[in-house]
Amino acid sequence: MSSKNVFFFGSKTEGEAGNKNLLGGKGANLAEMTKIGLPVPPGFTITTEMCIEYYKQGKKISDSLLKEIREALAKVEKDTGKKFGDANNPLLVSVRSGARVSMPGMMDTVLNLGLNENTLKGLIGATGNERFAYDAYRRFIQMYSNVVMGMNPEILEHILTGTKEKKGVKNDTELTAADLKQMVADFKAKYREKMKSDFPEDPMQQLIGAISAVFGSWNNERACIYRRMHGFSDDWGTAVNVQAMVFGNMGEDCATGVAFTRNPSTGENKYYGEFLINAQGEDVVAGIRTPQPVNKDSVDPDNPLPSMEEVMPAVYKQLANVFDILEKHYKDMQDIEFTVEKNKLYMLQTRNGKRTAMAAVKIACDMLNEKLINEKEAVLRVAPEQVDQLLHPMIDPKASKTLIAKGLPASPGAATGQIVFTAQDADEWASAGKKVILVRHETSPEDIKGMVAAQGILTALGGMTSHAAVVARGMGKCCVAGCGQIKLSGKTMSVSGKTYKEGDIITLNGSNGEVYDGNVGKITPELSGDFGKIMDLADKYRKLKVRTNADTPHDSSVARKFGAEGIGLCRTEHMFFEGDRVVAVREMILSSSLEEREKALAKLEPMQKQDFVGIFREMKGLPVTIRLLDPPLHEFLPHTDAELEEVARNMDVPIDMLKSKSASLHEFNPMLGHRGCRLGISYPEIYKMQVRAIIEAACELVKNEKMEIVPEIMIPLVGKKEELAIIKEYSEAEIKKTMDKNGVNLKYMIGTMIELPRAAITSDRIAEEAEFFSFGTNDLTQTTMGLSRDDSGNFLPDYVNKKIYSVDPFVSIDQEGVGELMKISIEKGRKTRKNIKLGICGEHGGEPQSVIFCHKLGLDYVSCSPYRVPVARLAAAHANLMS
């Protein structure tokens, strides 16, 4: 632990931007901004380590820490010339959280701290503004009694609402100093009634309470959920920033705002921000009043509010200058908070701005062009997790649609779903497998769960920096915000003269803010322009190859366009289901002798061959790994009685025979049943047919189209070397016969999937036969964890909630368990066959954290579904650049 636990910033700043882990992002950047001469109110940061210490001490602040706090506070007093708790010129402070990464709105804040009956008088004296002072005091009492004392906020809010009603006013701002003074007295009386004690007068007691509350908020439910969602560690803790208050709410020459140095939605190199005159910072983020744009460029022609550039030109100039300094200094787009107190600008926060995938790509390319960053940095600026967004469906321009409303394009992409009106409904409907659009007046941190569950979010209030907008962008989720045309009432939404009920379907276009009736067609954009540039750079800086999982020429073609460098998994059984082939497949299964089975297989063989011809041709000589039949045979039989009867009629076999065959193939645990290479052991004729079809296809293309093809034949579910040896032996005999027949001499490889723990553990033996390994991490996860993917839905969410798994192991590789088996397998496999070719073909192959893990393991390639190929390419580059 550091011996210094409190870092001052002001006349003699002690921290800097590099200290984020210790000071939190906010604290480190406040110190940094102070250092580079920007106008920052002085203050100090209590380190994140003290947060962890706070919990260790049983939620107590130690005396030694208190001493450091007092010393830092004295420096703030010196810098500001004010005194904390002073009756004449009192220092008021804000107390804010600040973890090493931004967790917007998740933790607590207390403003205007230091006010009591005494200092209130001082504040009135110093500002000459009694109304402002009482307003600050009543805000402080409201915030403190809720945040620090845990009082239900509605109790005091009720008094506020009552007062406004009594006075016949609508806005808080219309209340007079006298109204507010009375309200303070009422608040305190109510506080006494509820808390059985007086509202704390001692500023130091207030400060300790607020610091404790911020530390405490590190573990509130929404912060925990947020961390889990983003994979942040619970052990990081939050820092606490105590800073001299400046006021955006002292009059019309005051303001408060948030802004980005570039457009966070499109990436356009134009300032982008919102502000409110005569307001405190929380008012902007809370989305209660619709804020005005910072610069003229951002004025919405449909709703032309005056910009700061026009209203406060001098301060705007200062602000623009600060933007430029910050971008040059941080070399990244900044997200800042500022306050204007009596025409003087104060910076309250800067941080790297969150952005959409589209903006990330554009900003990275622009900054590369501006020579602000280099190629490697440009690649690292686009998170692989985000790229998915760019591959998300967009509204098809050619689709017919009925526009019903237009709001702000808060987070791009398109989404269709059934309307729900509460976060809880969103969560429940989604759990029941429904796709929903969450429609709210505005969202708050309590809605996180519902936002996660929804396809898209539509809010009636709030701007581009409202809670809904910020959080949705972070999630890569489509969002239309501030759509004032919709009128919400209970569980209905009225718009364009129509009333939508819960369950009705709408479509959102988060890229332009449009809302449509019903389900509107969507398309997926291509890789081109800036995105293409980033992808090219990713290819330049990655080592890991990226293949695709594709079973048809069409999928192969899509994947090629997304940059796939081969096929890592071609599932032959998918071909078995197509059209009338399944008839032949069923005939094969129902055969009671080898001869009959071979007869049925002979019908399938030419079709299989044509499949492979198509795929090989599409892949133009790139490697293609073909997996022989994997699923249990009963998967090909119909399941209901009605279907069975139809098949029996079509095939002209007695229904009883079909039923009894179907029953005899039934398995209690098909995942662990008669499948994979076990079929190749029981029915060699099936695999022989498939091997012939592969080799025939390759020979044909080699002969007729002069292609170079090295087929990779993959045997699934091998657990013991001997299985592979037997199948390899008869397959090689078929291969030889087929090549001889065609007069072609092909190179080929025979390898296996590693998808059973036993295969991983005995990879040294298996590598004696296998020329390549492909990790089938779907099944390997199921068997290693003893967890059925199909059945885990009942309890896996609970497991993630209870932090047993930090992330669904079917989404991101369980590195500690499954990953350890992969490591063992690789070590043992290489011991036997030094240059064994290694890949992964589970769903994980397109998940960024898993791709990075595969890079570290030293695999040759990952293989994933076509649409995830770009994600994998970028993740592979990140892995290499970060290693």
| CA dist list (Å): 125 to 90, 131, 184, 795 | 10, 12, 18, 61
Looking at the Cβ atoms of 583 and 787, the one nearer to a copy of itself is 787
- Taking the complex as a whole, the smallest distance from the CB of residue 870 to a copy of itself amounts, in Å, to 32
Closer by beta carbon to a copy of itself, 710 or else 811: 811
Burial class of residue 664 in the structure, from the number of CB atoms within 10 Å of its CB (0-12 exposed, 13-18 middle, 19+ buried): exposed
Q: Which of 392, 467, 855, 878 is catalytic?
A: 467
User: CA 515 from chain center: how many Å?
Assistant: 23
Q: Residue 58 — left, alpha, or beta (φ > 0 → left; ψ -120 to 50 → alpha)? A: left
Rounded distance, CA 683 to CA 420, Å?
52
Query: Nearest distance from residue 791's CB to a copy of itself, in Å?
Result: 4
Least distance from a copy of itself to the Cβ atom of residue 20, Å: 28
Q: CB of 549: closest distance to a copy of itself in angstroms?
A: 20
- Amino acid letter, 137: Y
Cβ-based neighbour number of residue 480 at 10 Å: 32
Between 653 and 672, whose beta carbon lies closer to a copy of itself?
Answer: 672
Closest CA to 222 of 25, 444, 438: 444
**DSSP letters spanning 621-646:** TS-EEEE---S-GGGGS--SHHHHHH
Distance (Å, rounded) from C-alpha 158 to C-alpha 168?
15
Q: Which is nearer to a copy of itself, 294 or 818 (CB)?
A: 818
Residues 6+ apart with CB under 8 A from 484: 407, 460, 461
Burial of 339 (0-12, 13-18, 19+ CB in 10 A): buried
Shortest Cβ distance from residue 674 to a copy of itself (Å)? 5
Q: Residue 467 catalytic? A: yes
Helices marked H in 499-593 — which ranges? 529-540, 553-561, 572-577, 581-590
User: Which amino acid belongs to residue 720?
Assistant: K
- Residue that has been written with the tokens 């979010």 in this structure: 457
Residue 820, both tokens: 């350890």
Positions touching a copy of itself (CB under 8 A) are 667-674, 678, 681-682, 717, 719-720, 722-723, 726, 755-758, 761-762, 765, 779, 782-788, 790-792, 794-795, 798-799, 802-805, 814, 816-818, 820-821
Q: 785 and 814 in contact (C-beta within 8 Å)? A: yes
Shortest gap between Cβ of 733 and a copy of itself (angstroms)? 16
Q: How far, in Å, CA of 382 to CA of 871, rounded?
A: 10
Q: Which is nearer to a copy of itself, 249 or 763 (CB)?
A: 763
**Best CA proximity match to 315, nearest among 297, 338, 282, 348:** 338
Nearest approach, Cβ of 850 to a copy of itself (angstroms)? 17
Shortest spacing between CB 783 and a copy of itself, in angstroms: 5
Residue 765 or 833: which CB sits closer to a copy of itself?
765
* 441 among known catalytic residues: no
Structure tokens at 417: 């779903």
Closer CB to a copy of itself, 86 or 635, in the complex: 635
Cα–Cα dist 547/873, whole Å: 9
CB 240 within 8 A of CB 333: no
Q: Which is nearer to a copy of itself, 197 or 593 (CB)?
A: 593
Catalytic-role residue among 841, 855, 864, 878: 841
C-alpha distances (whole Å) from 590 to each of 595, 658, 829 are 12, 7, 39
Active site residues: 467, 841
